Amino acid sequence: MKILAVDTATKSCSVAIVDKELLLAEVNISRKETHSKHLMEMINTVIGLSGITVSDLDGFAVTKGPGSFTGLRIGISAIKGLALANSKPIIGVSSLDALATQNSFSPYLICPFLDARRGEVYFSRYRIESGILKKEIDEDVLPPVQAVSDINEPCIFVGDGALVYKKIIIDSIGDKAYFALPGQNIIRASTIACISMDRFEKNDTDDIGMFVPHYVRKSYAELPARP
């Protein structure tokens, strides 16, 4: 089963094609420009590098959020367009699930942090149980101090929010805080594809017409003005 996956949830952008457990091609970049300037070029590059055509793909996967509102819309719109044009199914994957999966080797509690701006982070918590990654709390958005206030065990933090608020995390929970290696803080499209694989095999796909980003928090325009 060949899946093309895209992540545009943060400042980094990633595109990959995975065939079951085999990564055929992947491109990752981090630039200041909007993802709309390079996403389609990256998709075409990955298709070319993989040696297959769009018609060979069995489906598409994309990060559904949380993350950058603009970034999510760009990635989801591109994937929905490709899926509709080629009559292929799509699956949305949580950006926090992806970051946790990339660190699922850890025996510690896993806490993905994505920078939500306004002094807040999108976060959740995960733990490996009997070799399976389990989500312990619902995805939420809070100031980092509140997000870690009840952590009383070793925890590995991952994501751009973990980098931005590293000092606050350490000041809050001290030597219980561990941090992922630099390369693990970006969401990889190959991870998105691998997470989606089980659902594709079960035909548990998303309704393209109803599929929208999962923002967790309202947009700035919808939030009450601060005094």
Tell me which architecture the domain covering 2-94+187-222 has in CATH. 2-Layer Sandwich (3.30)
Domain boundaries, given as residue ranges, for the chain: 2-94+187-222, 103-184
- Residues ≥6 apart with Cβ < 8 Å to 47: 4, 17, 25, 53, 54
Between CA 80 and CA 74 the distance in angstroms is 10
Q: Kindly report whether the global pTM for this prediction surpasses the value 0.75.
A: yes
- Tell me whether the CATH fold assigned to 2-94+187-222 matches the one assigned to 103-184: yes
Query: Amino acid identity, residue 178?
Result: Y
Half-sphere exposure of 178 (CA within 13 A, CB side): 13
Between CA 88 and CA 70 the distance in angstroms is 24
Yes or no: say if 34 and 6 are a contact pair by the CB < 8 Å rule.
no
- Give 21-68 pLDDT, tens digit per residue: 999 999 999 988 889 999 999 999 999 999 999 999 999 999 999 999
Instruction: Please provide the size of the chain in residues.
Output: 227
Q: What is the pLDDT of residue 224?
A: 47
Class of the 103-184 domain?
alpha beta
